[in-house]
Amino acid sequence: MIDLHTHSNFSDGSDSPAQLATRAHDLGLRAISLTDHDTTASHDQMAEACERLDLELIAGVEISLLDNTFPRRGGGGESFARGVHVLAYFLPLEPEHPVQQLLARLRRERAERNARLVRRLNELGFERLTLENVSARAAHAEGVGRPHFAAAMFELHPEIVGERTGESWSRLFVDWLGSTGRAYVAKTTLTLEEFVAVAQGSRTVFSLAHPLLNYLPEYSAASIETEMPAILDSLRQRGVAGVEAYYGGTTAATRALMVKLTRDAGLIPTGGSDYHGLFKQDVSLGVGHSGDLRVPDEILDELKAAR
Ligand code: AMP
Ligand code: ZN
Ligand code: FE
Ligand code: FE
């Protein structure tokens, strides 16, 4: 069993890299990728811990990008740029590499978004919320993200968002922080194509993270079968090698359908739990939300062959 999508406290997870590596080792994972948002700053600590535990580590990151080929429709039929998450594996880690320069740009855009999001929430009645309070919940300043905002909103303004439960946490993203929410502030201006172009020649392998969350948030088996093939085909044409068909947030039946469509499109079905520790309390490392996720070891061999 492997897990190719996890987060540490260098972004919006709660485990340190060493804690994550220990958890992975205890679970019996053969290989892991630590895919923090827009940063590989956690890599060295993770590599050291994995080496000690004889656990294979795949360098990774989860990047926030735009897909303008499939715009998102608003409630009134308006068209918005679609924000998507893309996993990149085996990427260059030297700070001066153009790929790392793009990640640095994304982190600057994240910091600007966070400042705007505080102002927006203040206007909407979350008067006690400050950037200092939100940032204090993250272990590393560059890793502040919406889960830290969500935690602050529950703690500082229960009169607006209620008590924190699994259900109210999801609702907070629907009502406030997510793309349908009142406080939504878009983050990135960088497109999928721009990022892929800069990575050309670096042996980086891209996989589209949680494809249904990105493209079909309200899916059914029927809508997956009608909508996804064109999306998958387009992604392949744009230099994406894999799609996260084995995603721990979906059911076994949905995963099986996504694996089939991914193979049909000539893409590698990658997989992971999207583990965030205490910032996604219903998701377990390796086995996901449903508990029955098992990402086959052979997927890693296919990813390596795609470099
Ligand atoms: P950010 O990187 O700041 O844009 O925040 C993105 C992160 O917010 C994701 O990786 C998730 O951890 C979390 N998130 C986004 N949408 C949701 C949602 N609907 N429910 C729970 N967590 C979410
Ligand atoms: Zn996250
Ligand atoms: Fe994501
Ligand atoms: Fe993630």
Q: Please, what are the domains in the chain?
A: 2-305 (3.20.20.140)
Question: What are the tens digits of pLDDT across the range 167-204?
Answer: 999 999 999 999 989 999 999 999 999 999 999 999 99
Which of 251-285 are b and which e, b meaning 16 or more Cβ less than 10 Å from the residue's Cβ?
Answer: eeebbebbbebbeebebbbbbbbbbbbebbeebbb
**pTM given for the model:** 0.97
Q: What's the gap in Å between 178 CA and the centre of ligand 1?
A: 7
User: How many Cα atoms within 13 Å fall on the side-chain side of residue 177?
Assistant: 22
Residues 6+ apart with CB under 8 A from 110: 37, 38, 64, 142, 144, 145, 187
Residue 54 clears pLDDT 90, i.e. is over it: yes
Q: Which atom of ligand 1 is nearest to the CA of 174?
A: 19
Confidence band for 76, pLDDT divided at 50, 70 and 90: confident
Residue 77 clears pLDDT 90, i.e. is over it: no
Per-residue pLDDT averaged across 115-138, rounded? 98
Q: What is the H or E stretch that residue 118 is in?
A: helix 98-123
Confidence band for 74, pLDDT divided at 50, 70 and 90: confident
Residues framing ligand 1 (Cβ under 6 A): 12, 37, 64, 145-147, 170, 173, 178, 187, 276
Q: What's the gap in Å between 144 CA and the centre of ligand 2?
A: 10
Task: Name the residue of 173, 185, 274 to mutate for ligand 1: max ligand atoms within 8 A of Cβ.
Answer: 173
pLDDT recorded at residue 258: 98
Q: What's the gap in Å between 64 CA and the centre of ligand 3?
A: 8
How crowded is residue 153: how many other Cβ atoms within 10 Å of its Cβ? 24
Task: Name the residue of 15, 64, 72, 146 to mutate for ligand 1: max ligand atoms within 8 A of Cβ.
Answer: 146
pLDDT above 70 covers a percentage of the chain that reads 100
The helix-helix angle for 17-27 and 43-53 (nearest 10°) equals 30
Bridge partners (DSSP) of residue 284 are 288
